[in-house]
Amino acid sequence: MPDVTERFRAADTLPARDLWSDIVAREPGSPPPAPAGRRVAAAIVALAVVIAGLAIAVRAFHRPHPVVPAGAVANGKILVYNLYASAAHQIWVMNPDGSGMRELRKLPANASLPAWSPDGKRIAFAIANSSSRPMEIWIAQADGSGAHVVFACADHFSTAKCHQVFDGLAWSPGGRQIAFLLGSLYVMNEDGTSLHRLYRLNLRTVSSPPAWSPDGRWILFPRTTGGSPAARGAGNLYLAAADGSGIRQLTHCGPIGHAKCAAVLPTWAPDGRSIAFADETTGAIRTIGVDGSHLRTLVTPPHGMWYRNPIWSPDGKDIVYEEFPMLGSKLPPIVTVYEMRADGSNPITLHVSGQPILLSWQRLPRQS
């Protein structure tokens, strides 16, 4: 019997009536008036942009100059993986206040899923999962120059494995190793040598890159619990010991249908004591202690919207995250990047985009 791929191929035999006469017969004229809901939403977004602009200005003039605490690092630029389909390059950088957005033109055009190295001097990224090209991991300098392959999946694994879900990578705190999920959890040196499987996981439903703890002891990742559909858990967070000594479950969200959380896209606070993640049950940004205690909701989105991709500023004071409308929502497809205090207070708009994005925040050396 035909497999799924063959069935999709056969779909080209479905009839497609010529609709051109229908198209030109539709009411000509100016763009259709937006439904009231969309107008209201657009007005809210416009108002939010104005308020955010004012807020940024107020913060710029009235916030005391940030003092980097001893032992912390300064906040550098934010890498923006802009999924803009028609842009020449998908990876951009912007300043932490949302200004100075620009393309990293020296990177390959199809670079994706970028992550700053811990010293802020390099970028690791993927060229991932296209139907014609197996996954690769690359490293480049901070300006995008010197890009080179360090891991070509096809050199190590079967074609089938190389087209498995790949969701990004994590640098070790010292910048000497890179971890990634490709069915299982793998670790290799930054130059691609010493590749080894740290844990066999049989993951099929990874939804975000792994995250290496600041002290180097743990690699954090989300997964859906196995078992029967009724018993299957929503997304939970797991901590894998980086020395290979075992894995422990951090969140206990409960079975699908009764889940109190569904954790994806986790990131470590710079002090390593707590973790921020996106909760797919409510679209909220939440935090939890590294010992599983103190599960808190920082911000909850308005109806029809999701909050995603929380990232901590390197100085630990702020969290940046994005908001976008759910599929099927009548709200305009506008993605907004917000910055808030790490306790969830004082959210301000950093950037408004027509496209979903992913973020990574550069650490700069400690200021002395």
Partner 1 sequence: MSETRTRVDPRTRWEDAYREVGPRLQRALLLYSGDLDLAEDATAEAFAQGIRRGSAVRDPGAWVWRTAFRIAAGRLKERSRSAGRLPETAYDPPDSVRDLVVALRELSAAQRASIVLHDYAGYPASEIASIIGSTAPAVFVHLSRARKRLRTMLEDDDA
Decide if 265 contacts 278 (C-beta within 8 A). Answer: yes
Whose CA is closest to 168, among 362, 338, 358, 363? 358
> According to CB under 8 A, which one of 55, 56, 66, 84 is a site residue for partner 1?
84
Tell which one of 207, 213, 225, 362 touches partner 1 (CB under 8 A): 207
Of the pair 81, 151, the CB lying nearest partner 1 is at 81
- Burial environment of residue 192 by CB neighbours within 10 A (0 to 12, 13 to 18, 19 or more): middle
Amino acid, single-letter form, for residue 306: W
DSSP 121-155: SEEEEEE--BTTB--EEEEEETTSTT-EEEEEGGG
Site string for partner 1, 142-181 (x = CB under 8 A): -----------------------xxxx-------------
Number of residues written out for the chain: 368
**CB 265, min distance to partner 1, A:** 7
Q: Report in angstroms the alpha-carbon separations of 20 from 8, 229, 289, 354.
A: 25, 45, 58, 28
- Tell the smallest beta-carbon distance from residue 142 to partner 1 (Å): 22
**By CB under 8 A, is residue 24 in contact with partner 1?**
yes
Task: Decide: is 219 part of the binding site for partner 1 (CB under 8 A).
Answer: no
Number of residues near partner 1 (by CB under 8 A): 66
Q: Which residues of 2-16 are buried (b: 16+ CB within 10 A; e: fewer)?
A: eeeeeeeeeeeeeee
- Applying CB under 8 A, among 29, 64, 71, 257 the residue interacting with partner 1 is 29
Decide: is 257 part of the binding site for partner 1 (CB under 8 A): no
Among 286, 308, 351, 363, binds partner 1 (CB under 8 A): 308
206 DSSP assignment: -
Q: Does 326 bind partner 1 (CB under 8 A)?
A: yes
- Contact positions vs partner 1 (CB under 8 A): 1-8, 10-17, 19-20, 22-24, 26-32, 81, 83-86, 90, 110, 112-113, 128-131, 165-168, 204-209, 264-265, 308-309, 324-330, 333, 355-356, 358
